């Protein structure tokens, strides 16, 4: 008799789950099916949390843009043997749903100011370098190593005096008669 009761309860639970659009395997136990159906019915009520309980840092879009577009002063050199004759990085552009940065080319072995987003992008770049070695039996083998593609030297920001000299040098180079102070 109790077996018939369980069967009818199981059939009822299966019908409920089908009506609710829940997917479940055919060999699910009655207890798990009951928990699945009851959990779905009670789920939204028990899962509510108040914002007072959890303090999440609010990420303001303008703060993200300001952080990623700030300029950093670096010297970049290339470790990739396939790019040994290159004078600069290839064209790069970073874009997502928050901001888009312009395409840039960064020369190698020169002090340069780049956006912080490009700095992070270049730091993550890797390349594979193959070297020939001999194994324990003396046979030549090729060993691949993954290394950083670019060596990035961080430089401190320019001081006010250096900025003033740079402005003057740029004005003289560009042929501007009057230097703004």
Looking at the structure, do residues 145 and 79 belong to the same domain, yes or no? yes
What is the per-residue pLDDT across 63-102, written as a single tens digit (0 to 9) for each? Answer: 888 888 899 999 999 999 999 899 998 888 888 888 888 8
Asked if the structure places residue 54 within a domain, the reply is no
Looking at the structure, do residues 10 and 89 belong to the same domain, yes or no? no
Q: Under a CB-based contact definition with an 8 Å cutoff, are residues 114 and 36 in contact?
A: no
Looking at the structure, do residues 34 and 66 belong to the same domain, yes or no? no
In the prediction, which pLDDT does 146 show? 94
Map residue 177 onto helix, strand or coil: coil
Cα dihedral sign for 54, 55, 61, 65? Answer: negative
Looking at the structure, do residues 69 and 154 belong to the same domain, yes or no? yes
Residue 155: pLDDT over 80: yes
Looking at the structure, do residues 34 and 105 belong to the same domain, yes or no? no
Q: Under a CB-based contact definition with an 8 Å cutoff, are residues 125 and 149 in contact?
A: yes
The model's pTM is 0.58
Asked if the structure places residue 17 within a domain, the reply is yes
Looking at the structure, do residues 133 and 77 belong to the same domain, yes or no? yes
In the prediction, which pLDDT does 53 show? 47
Looking at the structure, do residues 32 and 83 belong to the same domain, yes or no? no
Structural domain of 33: 2-46
Three-state secondary structure of 8-57: HHHHHHHHHHHHHCCCCCCCCCHHHHHHHHHHHHHHHHHCCCCCCCCCCC
């Amino acid at each position: 008799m109790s077996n018939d009761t369980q069967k009818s309860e199981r059939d009822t639970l299966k019908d409920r789950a089908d009506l609710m659009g829940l997917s479940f395997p055919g060999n699910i136990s009655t207890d798990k099916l009951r928990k699945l159906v009851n959990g779905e019915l009670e789920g939204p009520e028990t899962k509510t949390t108040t914002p007072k309980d959890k303090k999440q840092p609010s990420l303001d879009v303008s703060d993200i843009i300001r952080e990623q577009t700030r300029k950093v002063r670096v010297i970049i050199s290339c470790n990739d043997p396939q790019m040994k004759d290159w004078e600069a990085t290839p064209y790069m552009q970073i874009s997502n749903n928050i901001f888009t940065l312009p395409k840039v080319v960064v020369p190698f072995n020169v002090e340069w100011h780049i956006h912080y987003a490009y700095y992070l992008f270049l730091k993550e770049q890797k390349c594979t370098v193959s070297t020939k070695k001999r194994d324990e039996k003396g046979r030549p083998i090729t060993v691949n190593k993954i290394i950083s593609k670019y060596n990035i030297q961080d430089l401190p920001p320019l001081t006010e005096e250096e900025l003033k000299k740079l402005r003057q040098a740029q004005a003289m180079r560009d042929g501007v008669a009057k230097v703004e102070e």
